[in-house]
Amino acid sequence: MPSPRDIDTILKNWNYTPGEVTARRVKARSGREVLQMRVDMGLLQMETDLRPDGTRPHGAETYFDYLVGEVIREGEGFELSKEQCSEADREFVQYYHRRLCWLSLREYDRAAKDADHSLAFMDFVRNHSPDEEWTLSHEQYRPFVLFHRVQAGALAALDEDVPEVAIAEVNRGLDAFRDLFAQYDAEDQFESDELVRRLREMRESVRNRYEVGRTLAEQLAEAVKCENYELAAELRDQMRQKQAAASTTGRPARDADADDVAPDAGT
């Protein structure tokens, strides 16, 4: 008689495809919803909220939350121990797998939320890392996580039928990439970077598919760059009017926040 621990039937009925992320949402015996991801020799099962493995490290919602508490207790001079580095790595991997699942299932808001967790945690470990080598072992993945965040934000905007917001998400992401390259004195690699190229292709694809020209945010940024402050003020007013109209309907504004695009005209 087959053991109740055996998962042969599940694996036979759910094929693994190399190079593809295959995920699904299922009901556990307790009635809660969980995520499953098919991997080469089995599957991963994850919780849909908080930490993917469902644990509460030291009573905290995530290991990141626990470590923030340690800094509060010990002060800004806090430095991660070898064991804490290892536990941080475990949480990074868990959120990576769940982020892939959310993207595969087109749950873009949840993918963005998990990417935000990872990016904030990366900031934390960079500030409290015990050595440069361990810091770089995480920083090398920052562009990839940032790409997922931008992608998820843009696709979530398209789900809401606001292509201008999707374009604004990509533009903000490209600015973040430029800042990241500058931080590591690698500005000369920005234009040729594969992820940067893919984001630009995504932005132009949105323009073509939805027949969107230069957005108000892009026009405003260009006006400020050219020091055409009169035009910038007019564009800023148009954006704020659109945002006010959107707030009354409950729909997302169709452009980026004017205050996030450029400084006040004339400054």
pLDDT over 70 percentage in the chain: 79
Predicted TM-score (pTM) of the model is 0.82
Higher pLDDT, 1 or 243: 243
Beta bridge partners of 15: none
Work out the pLDDT band at 265, boundaries 50, 70, 90. Answer: very low
Tokens of 94: 């868990």
Whether the pLDDT of residue 220 is over 70: the answer is no
Helix (H) or strand (E) holding 18: none
**CA nearest neighbour of 76 among 68, 84, 65:** 68
CA separation (Å) from 29 to 32, 33, 51, 148, 218?
Answer: 7, 9, 20, 32, 51
Tokens of 263: 């400084």
The pLDDT value given to residue 10: 86
Work out the pLDDT band at 76, boundaries 50, 70, 90. Answer: confident
Higher pLDDT, 178 or 6: 178
Across 93-104, average pLDDT:
97
Work out the pLDDT band at 228, boundaries 50, 70, 90. Answer: low
**CA nearest neighbour of 149 among 178, 135, 170, 163:** 170
Highest mean pLDDT of the ranges 130-134, 246-250, 257-261: 130-134
